[in-house]
Amino acid sequence: MDSRQIRNKFLEFFESKGHKIVPSAPLVLKNDPTLLFTNSGMVQFKDNFLGNATPKYKRVADTQKCLRVSGKHNDLEDVGLDTYHHTMFEMLGNWSFGDYFKKDAIAWAWELLTDVYKLPKERLYVTVFGGDKKDNLPVDEEAIQLWKQHVHADRILHGVKKDNFWEMGESGPCGPCSEIHIDLRTDEEIKKKPGKELVNNDHPQVVEIWNLVFIQFNRLASGALEPLPDKHVDTGMGFERLCMAIQGKTSNYDTDVFRPLMDFIALHADHYAYGSDTKKDIAVRVMADHIRAVAFAIADGQLPSNTGAGYVIRRILRRAVRYGFSYLNIKEPFMHRLVPLLALQLKEVFPELHQQLEYVGKVVHEEEKSFLRTLDDGIFSFNQNFLRVVRKNLIRYFNERKIVFQQSNGQETFPDFFLPDHRVELELNSRFDEFEIRKNFKVVDDVKIKCLSVNPFLFLKEEFFADEDVKFVFPSQLQFEKEIDGHTAFVLYDTHGFPIDLTQLMAREIGFTVDMSSFNQHLEEQKLRSKADAAKETGDWITVAEGEKPEFIGYDSFTSTSKILRYRKVKQKNKELFQLVLDKTPFYAESGGQVGDTGRLQIGSEQIDVIDTKKENDLIVHWVEKLPTNLEGPVTATIDIAKRKLSMSNHSATHLLHAALRHVLGKHVEQKGSLVNDKILRFDFSHFAAMTAEEIAKVEALVNEKIRENIQLDEQRNVPIEKAKSLGAMALFGEKYGDFVRVITFDPKYSVELCGGTHVPFTGSIGMLKVISESSVAAGVRRIEAVTAAGAQEYFNQSLALLLEVKSLLKNPKDVATSLQNLLEEKHLLEKKLETMNAERAHQIKDQLAGKAQKTNGITVINQQVTVPSAESLKNIAYALRNQFDDLVMVLAANIDGKPNVTVMLGEKVEAMKKFHAGNMVKELAKEIDGGGGGQPFYATAGGKNLGGLERVIEKAKGMISAN
């Protein structure tokens, strides 16, 4: 049976048992603050368990794309190392929402596995919940009795809470579960050790294949359990493992789910056969697994990025690239070539990938390129660090032996190919191949070597090649610690994104080790730092009034009289906030790119500001800073109408823009993201090149034309999804739609979209749209930002006002740009001129001062009051005089723009005599001008407040100089 048949049999089986087969929900979640990705089959039914929604069907089955990158049984870093963990996997599941319970769930599971899939009964084990004292829960006797009708009692094992009590999270629906395990070992092995001892023991061939969860409790934040009114069944069977069991393989990766991908990788990347090299095999598995996760996440609308879910995707892709880079020697983007193969393989089950093949491939390709660049930077940085160590030790070595290098003109030097700043050379030598230095050096002293080329890496092999005819063998006496310290490794990791195991690998290649304990310590510190403020506590919902799921009435009105259904406390960054749920509300919750409404609640005479409105699955949650004192009373809820109207204008404009882009650029334009608030609209869409100015102008013109046509909004609610699609409505990938949708139409021939947002009644009220920027977000994705209505007006007014101001400042020239350019050039010239003039002036002052110099006791003394244009020129004067007299002792009491300054400068010889110390002198002299200062032994400055003290400075200096 191939994997396709296995999947179909599952769905057919449950269809025959009265289940509705539903499509997989997107991998990426939008309205769930507790989860980044769909990590199990039940996620899309969460609201059914929580009681926030009434289930549409009582019996449902599907295969669900899931992504797990962290958790108790799976860590991204483990995937590929073993043969049974995955990032993305399919979970087959059947559900009962308040319908059948343990009896049917158990019977059908057994029937499917043994009758349909014909798995050997003697290899199957089942586990049941064995009770838990802390929760005061008994053994699940009911399940045991039911299982006994199918399997012998000694194959029914008791499990602990960790394995056999399933919980969604810290709180929420939960219940005991029953797992089915299979023993896939050989007969000999089974004889040696019975399978029941290996169940739930992380044995790669004694694995859980199906988990039947019986949801019957709700766990409160306090930890207590309360029974649920409706009992549910939630089952999950790992598709890849099931295939392994049915196809008689010992690894998930050996099934036809992965093998085609892996053979392709092995062949094209490294021309080797999978299975012949343990390390390479790991890399191949990692790549085959990760491309699935990455490709489907992108197809579901999640671009790799540096935050949130996007960052997880980026990390997964990078891990795959890194493995290919290190073990399969793949230095060019490769992963993107797997996308077509994968898309074809899963075309029937998950058509979303195949439909966006080109787009996903491009995104992956671009992301690979950027990571390879980062790797390159990291390698460069690594080499620099390494060369620093080498250089330091080489200098020490040469110094100890008094070996001196000379350039051909006789000047002493140190060969700069040892300096770690030769990027060009290092690029040629991107790893450790030999490279040439085009410079001649002679080593003089007792050894004379003319050095033409050198490879600093070879020295580690204790050889040092110089010219062809002279060989300098690097002595083994040169030894130093061959360890990369933890800080360096951490900086590589944290700042350059350089994976630690790659650092270790590279270190090993040159005979170094990495101080891992120090590295880990740095890592821990960083984690603590960034975790410190992210803490958040959420309390239990407290019910005020019973009521149906909250109703959104904001499409039709901006205000309502409501009552509070429930509330809870949320602690975030030491700030206490409250969340309120109303029975009906005009507040639009953030969704579809449109931000949540703000506004106010009026309860009696009390007013409470609503700072944000968010969705939690289907719940509309109002965020407020304090609770009303009267929770039961009627609440008048009113949104901030001005803000909402601007958002509406921007949202409708987004639809017009979307349609215009498809007209101007082509049908490949798909929405990839959008943000709509009261200030701006931002629209991301798939398109493979930057838009030209003409294209932008065309799009703008078309949108504005549609605005002027003043098209009436046609809003239809509760349209069956199939009908909506037949109307040509644009549906988005990665968006989960119900059976009934809302359709927003501005002219059926122009723009028809599925949308839950709020819109203007006539396009005319948008007023005007102005694109203010067009940029790139990722490969194949462009971003347009635009303003409308009052925002557009303000934008124009501001731009125009600025231009007018600039123009008038320039005395209204014909061509502002040229005029400004000329002005800048002129300014630059004048600056240069001023600089030279200052230099000339300084030169004159210098000459004057030099003329007044007095030779006494073998030193040249200059002790004068001067007036100079700037501190800079004073410095120049001082240095010029130092260059002129090596026996100089100079004190200048200067007036710089009305500020007193004392400068002391000594000549080279005087400095060497150490009789004078400029720094000490200036400190003493500065007292006369009520100031302070310092500097170096030969040059020091001081500033002060008392201009009148300059004369006394000269007097004091006279005394200081003659005293020596």
Shortest Å, Cβ 217 to RNA: 26
> Which DSSP category does 723 fall into?
H
Q: Which is nearer to RNA, 77 or 509 (CB)?
A: 77
- Closer CB to RNA, 434 or 462, in the complex: 434
- Closer residue to RNA in complex, CB, 728/934: 934
Shorter beta-carbon distance to RNA: residue 81 or 912? 912
Q: Which is nearer to RNA, 422 or 566 (CB)?
A: 422
Joined together, the tokens standing for residue 947 give: 């201009």
| Cβ-based nearer residue to RNA, 429 or 602 | 429
- Per the rule left: phi > 0, alpha: psi between -120 and 50, beta: everything else, 806 is alpha
The CB-of-821 to RNA minimum distance in angstroms stands at: 14
Residue type at 692 in one-letter notation: T
Please give the torsion angle defined by the CA atoms of residues 695, 699, 701 and 703, in that order, rounded to the nearest 10 degrees. 180
- Rounded Cα–Cα distance for residues 583 and 562 (Å): 6
Task: Show Cβ contacts of residue 758 under 8 Å, excluding neighbours closer than 6 positions.
Answer: 554, 555, 588, 594, 644, 647, 648, 651
> What are the angstrom distances between the C-alpha of 154 and each of 118, 140, 185?
21, 16, 19
| Shortest reach from residue 376's CB to RNA, in Å | 9
Q: Which is nearer to RNA, 262 or 953 (CB)?
A: 953
To RNA, the closest distance from the beta carbon of 778 in angstroms equals 10
How far apart are alpha carbons 163 and 207 in whole angstroms?
A: 13
Closest separation between CB of residue 21 and RNA, Å? 34
Nearer CB in complex with RNA: 55/378: 378
Shortest gap between Cβ of 427 and RNA (angstroms)? 8
Separation of alpha carbons 412 and 951, rounded Å: 47
In whole angstroms, give the CA distance from residue 131 to residue 308: 38
Which C-beta is closer to RNA: that of 755 or that of 845? 845
| 537: exposed, middle or buried (Cβ count in 10 Å: 0-12, 13-18, 19+) | exposed
Q: Distance between CA 860 and CA 851 in Å, rounded?
A: 11
- How open is the CA angle 311-385-418, to the nearest 5 degrees? 140
Q: Which residue in the block uniquely carries the two structure tokens 């980044």? A: 36
How does DSSP classify residue 336? Answer: G
Dihedral, CA of residue 577, residue 581, residue 585 and residue 586, to nearest 10: 30
In whole angstroms, what is the distance from residue 926 CA to residue 357 CA?
75
Which residues contact residue 709 at a Cβ distance below 8 angstroms, ignoring those fewer than 6 apart?
747, 763
171 vs 941 by CB, closer to RNA = 941
Residue whose structure tokens are 């070879």? 458
Q: What's the min distance (Å) between Cβ of 930 and RNA?
A: 10
Distances (CA, A) of 633 to 564, 587, 601, 627, 716: 8, 19, 12, 13, 34
The smaller minimum CB distance to RNA, of residues 730 and 781, is found at 781
Q: In the bound complex, what is the minimum distance in angstroms from residue 106's beta carbon to RNA?
A: 36
Q: Are 923 and 895 in contact (CB under 8 A)?
A: no
- Helices and strands (H and E) in the chain: how many: 26, 41
Question: Is the CB of 278 or the CB of 517 nearer to RNA?
Answer: 517
Contacts of 766 (CB under 8 A, 6+ apart): 649, 652, 653, 656, 707, 760, 788, 789
Which residues of 670-712 form beta strands (DSSP E)? Answer: 671-676, 681-686
Residue with smaller CB distance to RNA, 77 or 332:
77
Which parts of this chain interact with RNA (CB under 7 A)? 70, 306-308, 311, 314-315, 318, 370-371, 374, 377, 380, 384, 408-409, 416, 421-424, 438-440, 493-497, 526-527, 529-534, 828, 832, 871, 875-876, 879-880, 882-883, 901, 931-936, 939-944
> CB of 320: closest distance to RNA in angstroms?
13
Type of residue numbered 306: N
- CB-wise, 496 or 759, nearer to RNA? 496
Minimum CB separation of residue 724 from RNA in Å reads 32
Alpha-carbon Rg for the chain in angstroms: 38
Q: Measuring CA to CA, which residue among 735, 759, 734, 733 is closest to residue 745?
A: 759
Report the nearest approach of RNA to the CB of residue 564 (Å): 28
Least separation in angstroms between CB 909 and RNA: 14
Minimal distance, residue 482 CB to RNA, in Å = 22
How near is the Cβ of 496 to RNA at its closest, in Å? 6
CB of 603 to RNA, least distance (A): 30
Contact 733, 691 (CB under 8 A): no
**Torsion angle of alpha carbons 61, 67, 72, 73, nearest 10°?**
80
Taking residue 414's Cβ as centre, other Cβ atoms within 10 Å add up to 14
Cβ distance to RNA smaller for residue 936 or 962? 936
Of residues 532 and 693, the one with the C-beta less far from RNA? 532
Q: What are phi and psi of 83, to 5 degrees?
A: -115, 10
The 8-class DSSP code of residue 870 comes to -
Q: Which of 688, 671, 817 is nearest to 751 (CA)?
A: 671
Q: What is the largest CA-CA distance in the chain?
A: 118
Please give the single-letter amino acid code of residue 839: A
Kindly state the smallest distance separating residue 493's Cβ from RNA, in Å.
6
**φ and ψ at 633, to 5 degrees?**
-70, 165
Nearest to RNA of 252, 876 (CB atom) = 876
Q: With respect to RNA, which residue has the nearer C-beta, 311 or 740?
A: 311
CB of 569 to RNA, least distance (A): 19
Least gap, CB of 729 to RNA (angstroms): 31
Separation CA 586–CA 590 (nearest Å) = 13
Q: Write down the residue that tokens 């809470």 correspond to.
A: 161
